[in-house]
Structure 1
Amino acid sequence: MPIYNKLVRDRIPEVIEKTGKKFHATVLSQDVYIEELKKKSFEELEEYIAAETGAEALEELADMFEILHAFAAVHGSTIQGVEKIRKEKEQKRGGFNERIFLVDVED
């Protein structure tokens, strides 16, 4: 029997049940949930980095976006609230569209 010990999407137990398999799962406390979301975010980032096609990359970005939604909710906000902060930061400091790579700064 494979051991997973990881955070999964909400409907995964339902998907497993439809296959007729038995499983064990638990609902995490808020603190443990946040820690597991952090682990999951690294897992999804690694999968994005390993993506070999644009379609695979977009699939992994969608997973990362789902995690961002969960992080926003955990911190009492929404993705729209996070987007508002992102836009404010972009106006003050810019985005990453110009591909600027800072080498050094003279003292």
Structure 2
Amino acid sequence: MIIYNKLVRDRIPEIIQESGEECLVEVLTEHDYLKELQKKGEEELKEYLAASNSKEAIEELADLIEVIYGLAQCHGFSIKELETVRQSKKDKKGAFDKRLFLVEVHKKD
């Protein structure tokens, strides 16, 4: 028996059962679900940072996006609303396409 105690994607129990194994799952409360999504976000970010190649990186980025979608929904926002906010911020402040690194700012006299 292996104990995981972590949030998993919706089809994982089904996939485990199809492999001939059994598993025990619980449905989390909204409060616990939010906490576990936050932990999952940290886990997926660490896995992305540890990725040794672009194929691994894209897999972890996809996992991060799925967690972000779940977090947005926990806060009462749809994926469309999240995208609208992202686009608005991009329109106002830009993206990260130019690879700019702010070193310092000097106050005007």
TM-score range, shorter chain: over 0.9
CA RMSD of aligned residues (A): 1.2
Q: Aligned AA for 2:70?
A: A
Q: Aligned AA for 1:71?
A: L
Quick one: distance in 2 between partners of 1:53 and 1:96? 21
Q: Aligned AA for 1:19?
A: S
Specify the alignment match of 1:7 in structure 2: 7
Indicate yes or no: 2:79 matched with 1:79.
yes
Quick one: distance in 2 between partners of 1:6 and 1:40? 8
Matched positions, count: 107
Quick one: distance in 2 between partners of 1:58 and 1:80? 22
Indicate yes or no: 2:34 matched with 1:17.
no
Range with greater deviation from structure 2 (67-76 or 5-14): 67-76
TM-score (norm 2): 0.91
Quick one: distance in 2 between partners of 1:82 and 1:69? 8
Q: Aligned AA for 1:41?
A: G
Output aligned runs, 1:1-107, within 5 Å: 1-107=1-107
Quick one: distance in 1 between partners of 2:27 and 2:73? 17
Query: Unaligned 5+ residue runs, structure 2?
Result: none
Q: Deviations over 1:6-30 (max 9, x none)?
A: 0000011111111222222111000
Contact 1:45 1:60 in 2 (8 A): yes
Percent of aligned pairs with the same residue? Answer: 49
Deviation at 1:50, TM superposition (A): 1.1
Quick one: distance in 1 between partners of 2:65 and 2:74? 14
Contact 1:44 1:63 in 2 (8 A): yes
Query: Unaligned 5+ residue runs, structure 1?
Result: none
TM-score (norm 1): 0.92
